[in-house]
Amino acid sequence: MSENRAVRSKERSWPLRDAEEADLLLNFVEKITPFFDCTDYQRHFALHIPYRARHCETLFNAILAMSARHLSRTTSFDPFVSDHYFQLCLEKLIPALNDHEVTMDDDLLAATVILRLLEEYDVPLAGSDLRGHSFGTKAFIQGPPTTATTTPRLRQAVYWSGLRQEIYNSLSLQQAPDVDISTLHSQFSWLGQDFDDCTWANQAIAHCTDVLMFSFGEGPRSVSVHAELQAKNQEWLDTRPDSFDPFFIDSDEVEIGATFPDIRFHSAWHAIGNQYNHLARILLHVHDPNLPTIGPLRRRFIQKADDMIRKGVWTVCGIGLSNVSVPPAMVVGCMAIHICGDRFTDPQQQDLLVQVLVQTDAVHGWPTHALQRQLRDTWGVP
């Protein structure tokens, strides 16, 4: 038996006869797939992955493990159920990750990215290294989505999910993303109005990855590269389709105060695309090589940059709170708080930021307790 066939294991009996497995599958479709499909209008994880899992035991077990972990963090569901399915995946998948035939299998690729999301649920967003626990997603996201597979659109959907996961890990560790996206630049150089909105959203994600490379990579943080990234950031904002405009805003200007802005979008990819553009802009302000490090103008320029950073964080959090049907938008808000929450000094604003973290944990099961403690320690509040 080949390694690939051994990992895929037996085909599931269908329809399911176990009510708990059916509930877990439904919870995966309803609550988990939005984290994967937020820039995929074809919704591969919601519409295609559950059916494909019927023919791949490892993918099916990954789905049940992820769904059970989510339920155990948001309800009183038994956490050992997730551990059981997780262990079944480990036994089959880990020994085979170095096999080329396996890494070209789209179902096992999907299983790997699902398990990576499970790891994010288990590891707090506060300096924890997911790479130490990783299932080898690096092998799948080192280059752009390939078309040399049986289902290229599925692989593209999985690729972008994996890249967003790597951005999350990069921000958590404040290290450069462990990917090579250089070949994506030419692919995105000539985006026009003929490209679909999901492609535009993914361009914002690719741009954010570029900014992370600049911010945390080993290369020099030159003024010219920073200026080029700033220009690309503004270009995306100026040239993106009008569909990326919010359909409702409660104010023409975002003001940091007693509430977050109400900024609503009619599709997940519009909210996510705008958030990643803002996230990249925040990082460009943080890592601006033009800021003076000494001299009488330093404080003035630093204060101006901090004002822009706080406004960006406030906007990203507002988008997350305003679009309740887009769970990953709340996670992006937490990412912004993680990197720049320490720059807020007003107690009321600090409390509002903590409430974003609390709500993300309570509603979506995302682990934010460690970050809450770090911020409270930084702010000097109980």
pLDDT per residue as tens digits for the range 61-94: 999 999 999 999 999 999 999 999 999 988 877 7
Instruction: Give the residue among 235, 324, 328, 218 at the shortest CA–CA distance from 281.
Output: 235
Instruction: Give the residue among 259, 366, 271, 363 at the shortest CA–CA distance from 319.
Output: 271
Q: Which two tokens stand for residue 135?
A: 């299932």
- Condensed to tens digits (0 to 9), the pLDDT of residues 307-316 reads 999 999 999 9
Residues contacting 98, CB < 8 A, separation 6+: none
DSSP-derived 3-state class of residue 39: coil
Q: Which two tokens stand for residue 299?
A: 């404080």
Task: Return the amino acid letter for 358.
Answer: V
pLDDT value at residue 149: 40
Region 24-36: mean pLDDT is 97
Top mean pLDDT of 71-80, 99-108, 145-154, 217-226 is at 71-80
CA distance 362 to 73: 8
pLDDT value at residue 188: 55
Mutual angle of helices 298-322 and 347-364, in 10-degree steps: 40
CB 320 within 8 A of CB 268: no
CB 158 within 8 A of CB 106: yes
Instruction: Give the residue among 129, 130, 90 at the shortest CA–CA distance from 112.
Output: 90
CA distance 308 to 315: 11
DSSP-derived 3-state class of residue 246: coil
CA distance 102 to 112: 11
Whether the predicted pLDDT of 184 surpasses 60: no
Q: Which two tokens stand for residue 159?
A: 């690729």
DSSP symbols for 164-179: HHHHHHHHHHT---S-
Query: Helices then strands (H, E): number in the chain?
Result: 19, 2
CA distance 368 to 348: 19
Top mean pLDDT of 30-39, 87-96, 169-178, 188-197 is at 30-39
CB 240 within 8 A of CB 200: yes
Q: Which two tokens stand for residue 249?
A: 């805003």
CB 53 within 8 A of CB 63: yes
pLDDT value at residue 365: 94
Residues contacting 309, CB < 8 A, separation 6+: 282, 285, 286, 340, 343
CB 28 within 8 A of CB 67: yes
Whether the predicted pLDDT of 193 surpasses 70: no
CA distance 370 to 125: 7
Whether the predicted pLDDT of 336 surpasses 80: yes
Whether the predicted pLDDT of 57 surpasses 80: yes
Q: Which two tokens stand for residue 372?
A: 């809450």
The share of the chain scoring above pLDDT 70, in percent, equals 84
Backbone φ/ψ region at 322: left (φ over 0), alpha (ψ -120 to 50), beta:
alpha
Q: Which two tokens stand for residue 128?
A: 């924890």
Dmax of the chain from CA atoms?
73
Point out which residues pair with 248 in neighbouring strands. 264
Residues contacting 305, CB < 8 A, separation 6+: 285, 286, 288, 291
- pTM of the complete model: 0.91
pLDDT value at residue 133: 41
CA distances from 39 to 35, 200, 249, 267 (A): 9, 9, 22, 9
CA distance 58 to 209: 30
Instruction: Give the residue among 328, 335, 346 at the shortest CA–CA distance from 312.
Output: 335
Q: If 0-12 CB within 10 Å is exposed, 13-18 middle and 19+ buried, where does residue 40 land?
A: buried
